[in-house]
A = this chain, B = another copy of it.
Amino acid sequence: MIVLDYRDNRPLYEQVTEKIAHLIICGALESNSKLPSVRSLAMDLSVNPNTIQRAYAQLEQDGYIYTVLGRGNYVCGNNEWKDSKLRELSRELEQAMRKAKEAGLTLQEVTAMVDTVYASEEGETK
């Protein structure tokens, strides 16, 4: 299911998190399907169960999966993770915008920035 790269100097739990998130985004893991248990995946990858536990906790935090105690971990319904991520990024954007305004960024300048960012590719603004 997953292969760890020990030359990668990022932590193991982060690699696991990223790879599983990628599988979910790609659609390789269907909604509500069961993920491998903490212990079995840990065995597969030859790491401690806590490492997988941390990755799963992160994935739950990010809205990719949900946990049922004593039963296992499951992939969230479609787009739940998308909404979660969008909300988070929107919060960050608004915070950055307020700080920039505070520092003196004018309405004209931020409007120009929006135009630039949203014109940089095809008009996929729905």
A interface SS class: helix
A125 and B103 form a contact (CB under 8 A): no
A117 to B92, CA, bound (A): 13
Known: A93-B97, A111-B114. A126 touches B105 (CB 8 A): no
Say whether, besides A89-B100, A93-B100, A96-B89, A125 and B107 are in contact (CB < 8 Å). yes
Enumerate chain B residues within 8 angstroms of A82, measured Cβ to Cβ: 103-104
- A74 to chain B: closest CB distance in Å? 23
**25 pairs of residues in contact across A and B, judged by CB atoms under 8 Å:** A82-B104, A86-B100, A86-B103, A86-B104, A89-B96, A89-B99, A89-B103, A90-B109, A90-B113, A92-B96, A93-B93, A93-B100, A93-B113, A94-B116, A96-B96, A96-B97, A97-B113, A97-B114, A98-B117, A101-B118, A106-B125, A107-B114, A107-B118, A108-B125, A111-B114
